[in-house]
Chain A
């Protein structure tokens, strides 16, 4: 069914970005902020409208745009396509995106780059919409590269900070490395399927050469691992926290980093045609979940704790997708977007209150000063820890139950341990910030009076983090599963799902409860951990866990060595003698002539 709505969902944020970007000198701050929020709100409403238009049969909404690549051996009809999966993602991208735009009006109010911020944020929403709306791999890759560039712009938003510039470069470089692998995957698709359109590739996937499908899936996986910050290419995500906090909430927690999960689910006919690829996705996801959770237990920067926890939660999503529980994975994306955005926005309010302080060792006793943040943050902590009834409980349990149901006992065990660690580091984070005595850090009361514009999104997200899990109570409600089922049915698949969590849920809950209580005890007002943590303020933290197992240092060392070696070689070639360059050029030309004319 044709639907022009899809074009507007995508174009409105682009239009907003252009107007705010071009007119940023003339627009008042309020105008820029509210215009940026408004276009995303309209996109959100249009997404709801598109959900209403989507036929129950599951035939996607379409909008063809143009023909691309007429000189190629095939024609690519570029267009937009929205099935249940696309709309599921768009709902969060525009919905949470809108809330974070509104929050930013308050958060960025004193920033001199206020209008630029909103132009870039709108541009991100456009890119992400393109990524999920594309009906072919070229459109996907263009959106993929554009969200990467938006992320680059926003990580390095405070261009005067050297760390921010370095982090932006790092994120861009790692993501481009992933994109190059994806380009190779696209080339293989053309070779094997003679097309780049989803519909044609997915319908042929099961009958294709197994080796090539595995190669395509694994190459796509390289891109997925970089975008979703999974082992071993996650190192850009903790650094990306140099960007403003709303950016961390929107791009580096709720939406962009989930693009990898989206791609695994979108390209499930390819992945499920290759058991090797599926296994790899699940194992990388599980290991990243564990790795992120372990490292998060020894971080002291509030945003870095949340960054590693994002990596860990994305690991859960990939693990779910890797065992075939696509709907559970998409569901965890949904709930995670709420509670992680909530935690980041809460963290932003805390560091605003403390004049930019982000070290949780210097915090404490904030519960009495910031009761609103206390209660909303608590909702987020309980949701991510998997407390029964909260959103994260249902989605996480569903993934774990599906893994066990499919017989992946090892993955399930890793998931259970991770659940325990998650509860532990979240309890530690929470009690260090809010428990105990107020620290000597000077609090900043300048920001009072923006409570409404920053508080409203946080309140909405807190409610969503508490209640959104109820849409998938096993055996009672199955909204994600039923809603997404047509996506898989079109290609003759069915997502793995479970009707009840069964008794293993007790084990997961037990682990989480132990982790939570240990975290609270250890870092509570009189706990040993708290005292030790505060003593460690004076020195750089040692040990492999606090330093994320030295992976980042290894990469820096490796890149520097290659760079030094390359410099020696390059200096020999790039001598600076123009005439030698000319001679080389002529020699090369002569070699070509010789090859083409004489051989």
Chain B
């Protein structure tokens, strides 16, 4: 893989990550927040894979699989929580979900 291509991947990954991060901060719908987190996971995955190809070893691939597994678990729990909140109140806003505040 030529160096320019690697830089391209890393730049793309940075952009995806930034989109996710900004989205997480400015959107209030929990579903969108979850999707933004997903974007950040995948930005990280992209970097792992890009560097793994660059250095020609498998560790990056393995790590990205672990990330995918953890992300799946996170989404499963996150969606379950959102569904439960939906049942208790009609509309969901992450700023309103502050019931566990001390």
List residues of chain A with CB under 8 Å of any chain B CB.
Answer: 567, 570-571, 574-579, 582-583, 586
Selected contact of A576 from candidates B24, B28, B98, CB within 8 Å: B98
Are A579 and B24 in contact, CB atoms less than 8 angstroms apart?
Answer: yes
Are A582 and B25 in contact, CB atoms less than 8 angstroms apart?
Answer: yes
Are A583 and B25 in contact, CB atoms less than 8 angstroms apart?
Answer: yes
Are B101 and A576 in contact, CB atoms less than 8 angstroms apart?
Answer: yes
Is B10's beta carbon under 8 Å from chain A? Answer: no
Are A579 and B102 in contact, CB atoms less than 8 angstroms apart?
Answer: no
List residues of chain B with CB under 8 Å of any chain A CB.
Answer: 21, 24-25, 28, 33, 94-95, 97-102
Selected contact of A578 from candidates B21, B97, B102, CB within 8 Å: B97
Are B98 and A575 in contact, CB atoms less than 8 angstroms apart?
Answer: yes
A364 to chain B, nearest CB (A): 52
Residue of A nearest to B30 (CB): A578
Q: Which residues of A contact B95 (CB under 8 A)?
A: 577-579
B34 to chain A, nearest CB (A): 12
Q: Which residues of A contact B97 (CB under 8 A)?
A: 576, 578
**Docked CA distance A575–B95 (Å):** 10
The 7 closest A-B pairs by CB, nearest first: A576-B98, A576-B101, A578-B94, A582-B24, A571-B102, A574-B102, A577-B95
Residue of A nearest to B27 (CB): A579
B10 to chain A, nearest CB (A): 14
A574 to chain B, nearest CB (A): 6
Are B25 and A586 in contact, CB atoms less than 8 angstroms apart?
Answer: yes
Q: Which residues of B contact A571 (CB under 8 A)?
A: 101-102
Residue of B nearest to A582 (CB): B24
Q: Which residues of A contact B28 (CB under 8 A)?
A: 579
Residue of A nearest to B94 (CB): A578
**Docked CA distance A369–B48 (Å):** 81
Are B21 and A586 in contact, CB atoms less than 8 angstroms apart?
Answer: yes
Residue of B nearest to A567 (CB): B102
Are B25 and A579 in contact, CB atoms less than 8 angstroms apart?
Answer: yes
Residue of A nearest to B37 (CB): A582
Residue of B nearest to A570 (CB): B102
Q: Which residues of B contact A579 (CB under 8 A)?
A: 24-25, 28, 94-95
B12 to chain A, nearest CB (A): 19
A566 to chain B, nearest CB (A): 10
B91 to chain A, nearest CB (A): 16
Q: Which residues of A contact B98 (CB under 8 A)?
A: 575-577
**Docked CA distance A571–B100 (Å):** 11
Residue of B nearest to A578 (CB): B94
B51 to chain A, nearest CB (A): 17
A-B contact pairs, 18 of them (CB 8 A): A570-B102, A571-B101, A574-B101, A574-B102, A576-B99, A576-B101, A577-B95, A577-B98, A578-B33, A578-B95, A578-B97, A579-B25, A579-B28, A579-B94, A579-B95, A582-B24, A582-B25, A586-B25
Q: Which residues of B contact A578 (CB under 8 A)?
A: 33, 94-95, 97
Q: Which residues of A contact B33 (CB under 8 A)?
A: 578
**Docked CA distance A586–B25 (Å):** 10
Q: Which residues of B contact A570 (CB under 8 A)?
A: 102
Q: Which residues of A contact B99 (CB under 8 A)?
A: 576
**Docked CA distance A577–B99 (Å):** 10
**Docked CA distance A586–B100 (Å):** 22
**Docked CA distance A447–B98 (Å):** 55
**Docked CA distance A586–B40 (Å):** 12
**Docked CA distance A575–B102 (Å):** 8
Q: Which residues of A contact B94 (CB under 8 A)?
A: 578-579
**Docked CA distance A586–B20 (Å):** 12
**Docked CA distance A576–B99 (Å):** 7
Residue of A nearest to B98 (CB): A576
Are B25 and A576 in contact, CB atoms less than 8 angstroms apart?
Answer: no
**Docked CA distance A578–B33 (Å):** 10
**Docked CA distance A393–B41 (Å):** 72
B25 to chain A, nearest CB (A): 6
A423 to chain B, nearest CB (A): 53
